Amino acid sequence: MKLHCHRSSLATAFQVVQGVIPSRTPKDILKNVKLQVTDGKVILIGTDQEVGIRYEIPGIEADASGEAIFPTMRMISILRELTSDGVDLEITQDLIKITSGQSEFQLSAEDPAEFPPVPTFDAEAFYVLPAKNLKEAIHRTVFATDVESTRYALGGVLIEIEGTSVALAATDSRRLAVAKTTCSCEGEIGEHNPRPVIPAKAMSLIEKSITEEDENVSLCIHPNDILVKCGRSTIYARLVEGRFPNYRDVVPSEFQTMIEIVAGPFYSAVKQSQIVTSEESRGVDFVFHDGKLTLSSKVADIGQSTIEMPISYEKDQIRITFDPTFVADFLRIVDSETHLTLCLNDSESAAVLRTEDSYTYVIMPLSQDN
């Protein structure tokens, strides 16, 4: 089998599929990707057997159908260093020859039959979500997952669909991020897992796979896995085991204090407050009083800091201690011009940051003796 490729298209495909390749695995075959040529389409496939992706590569000329296994990182290195636009691949049972300009590489071939399958998207009934909105919703939630938690459900993002409304939620038990979008249905949706939790790795891959040209994303939910079609990518993921917490119970229903604040200046102040903190003493006091917010920290053997910024608050003093990293994680997600509402009750209760488009972020305070 011979193929002629555009170097940039082939390099992009390998970079995308690399996102699922495990760094450590007892199955060496999973460190590779499979190239599949069938029905005039060229597909690059990668999987760690929990998350998989099929990526259609455009602009490849092939003289026959077939399959081949490529070492992922070695191919990425080769494609990165080549300078010619065209790349020719010649694949036999024992050898892969790569030619471009004055360069030639020969790599040993492995048996494609040993590579585990990744499903295609052939569903007749599925949800359709606006691509741009879904990409933003993933970006606004996936950072709040806890990939190291022994509570497996916290290592993923919950997708909750009710009618035409979609909520994405993620938490590590210390903070919670909730973003919303909309959907429509194609075909007759049958019974499925009503609250699937998608692995963070898969959600990040979906986010990266959505391009500006994509209008919609197709989502098919099964009892134990999902399939997502976006642009050139089809992504498969096994659902995370365990029950996701009822996130609605975490969001306070009433607040004693609501403060309007602009994201950019707030982010700058919070980043400054992080400088004089440590792993052992990571808390920063947020004091709201007399038309200003004062952020102060003090760490033995390091020093102390005080940062002030004006705010529209003239009521009784409120003092609450946060891990500034968790506050900064939220603020870096939103545009600097975004107007936020900071909702507070007291120094021991959960605080909530909200945007005008209902993006909600709940953060638990630290005890004030930290």
Q: What is the pLDDT of residues 250-280, one digit of tens each?
A: 999 899 999 999 999 999 999 999 999 888 8
The structure tokens listed for 366 are 């630290």
Which residue has tokens 């089809």?
234
What homologous superfamily does CATH list for 126-248? DNA Polymerase III, subunit A, domain 2 (3.10.150.10)
The structure tokens listed for 5 are 């490729």
Residues 6 or more apart from 118 whose CB is under 8 A from it? 45, 46, 47, 52, 53, 54, 234, 236
**Measured between alpha carbons, how far is 70 from 30 in angstroms, rounded to an integer?**
10
pLDDT score of 368: 67
pLDDT tens digits, residue range 36-84?
Answer: 999 889 999 999 999 999 999 999 999 999 999 999 999 999 999 999 9
The structure tokens listed for 179 are 């973003």
What 3-state DSSP class applies to 209?
Answer: helix
**Measured between alpha carbons, how far is 356 from 263 in angstroms, rounded to an integer?**
12
Cα 259 to Cα 317, 318, 352, 360: the distances in Å are: 13, 11, 11, 15
> Could you tell me the sign of the dihedral formed by the alpha carbons of 185, 187, 193, 199, in that order?
negative
Q: For residues 195-215, give the mean pLDDT.
A: 93
What are the residue ranges spanned by the domains of the chain?
A: 2-114, 126-248, 251-363
334 within 8 A of 263, measured Cβ to Cβ? yes
> Could you tell me the sign of the dihedral formed by the alpha carbons of 192, 48, 66, 59, in that order?
positive
Query: Starting at the edge strand that comes first in sequence, how are the strands of the sheet with 51-56 ordered?
Result: 66-71, 32-38, 41-47, 51-56, 233-238, 225-230, 216-221, 126-130, 184-186
Res. 369 pLDDT band, cuts 50 70 90: low
What 3-state DSSP class applies to 316?
Answer: coil
* Topology of the domain covering 251-363: DNA Polymerase III; Chain A, domain 2 (3.10.150)
Q: Mean pLDDT in the chain?
A: 93
**In CATH terms, are 126-248 and 251-363 the same topology?**
yes
**Measured between alpha carbons, how far is 111 from 219 in angstroms, rounded to an integer?**
32
pLDDT score of 370: 44
pLDDT score of 325: 94
Residues 6 or more apart from 47 whose CB is under 8 A from it? 20, 30, 53, 116, 118, 236
* CATH class name, domain 2-114: alpha beta
pLDDT score of 194: 78
Q: For residues 345-359, give the mean pLDDT.
A: 93
